[in-house]
Structure 1
Amino acid sequence: MSIRDIIEGKRQWRAHMARVKALPPDYRVVYEEMQKYLFKVGPVSLTDGNLLSEIVDFFESGVASGKDVMELIGPDVAAFCDGLIGDSPTHADVYQESIRKKS
């Protein structure tokens, strides 16, 4: 990874977070909880994909249609996140597999 890639990544992250900050407070709180959960659960593809940007897109369309954030995702944030990542391998899965291979 070159220095230009790092700078570009930071630029994209700052633009992404500016979109998050522009969301209404209830949407922002839910997004932050989703982000924490996804970083903790750790789908391997999270940093490579556009999942977080797609969540912001989804939330922005919800705001535009006048819906409450809980109408969009339901009462369980973790269950909604689990549905998003589906069967994607997580860092925990990779770690467990590496332990099985060593045994």
Structure 2
Amino acid sequence: MRIQALIEAKKEWRAHIARVKALPKDYQIVYKEIQKYLFKVGPVELAHGIGLLSGIVDLFEEGASLGKGVLEVTGSDVAAFCDDLIKNSKTYADSCQESVNQEISKAMKKITDKK
């Protein structure tokens, strides 16, 4: 990645964090837990910018402006909320599973070709 692209990404991240810090405290707490969860679960798209996280902040800003509590926005099962957000996204676990299956297929093909 070029230096300029890194600088721009850092500016974008700082602006994003400023938006998070402007949210009500309950929203900030839930956002941080969502962020941790998504980083653990690993949707691949998180490595390519903050689009998903920015969308969550958009949703939270709207909920806060309407005077809703954060759990009124996400529901009480925040992990299920996250899973629903990424249900059609490729995760690192998916990539790892594909890689394992490809390696096993290659190895098995070599074994059967030798027979």
Unaligned runs of 5+ in 1: none
Moved over 4 A (4+): none
Alignment of 1:1-103 (within 5 A): 1-48=1-48, 50-103=51-104
Shift of residue 44 of structure 1?
0.7
Cα distance between partner residues in 1 of 2:54 and 2:90: 20
Cα distance between partner residues in 1 of 2:81 and 2:67: 20
The secondary structure found in structure 2 opposite 1:47 is helix
Shift of residue 88 of structure 1?
1.0
Larger Rg: 2
CA RMSD of aligned residues (A): 0.9
Cα distance between partner residues in 2 of 1:47 and 1:58: 21
TM-score (norm 2): 0.87
- For CA contacts below 8 A with separation 6 or more, give which structure has more relative contact order: 1
**How many residue pairs end up in the alignment?**
103
Unaligned runs of 5+ in 2: 105-115
Counterpart amino acid of residue 32 in structure 1: K
Shift of residue 96 of structure 1?
1.1
Cα distance between partner residues in 2 of 1:60 and 1:44: 25
Deviations, residues 43-97 of structure 1 (Å, cap 9, x unaligned): 1112325110010010001110000000111011110000001121100110111
Q: Percent same amino acid among aligned pairs?
A: 61
The secondary structure found in structure 1 opposite 2:48 is coil
TM-score (norm 1): 0.96
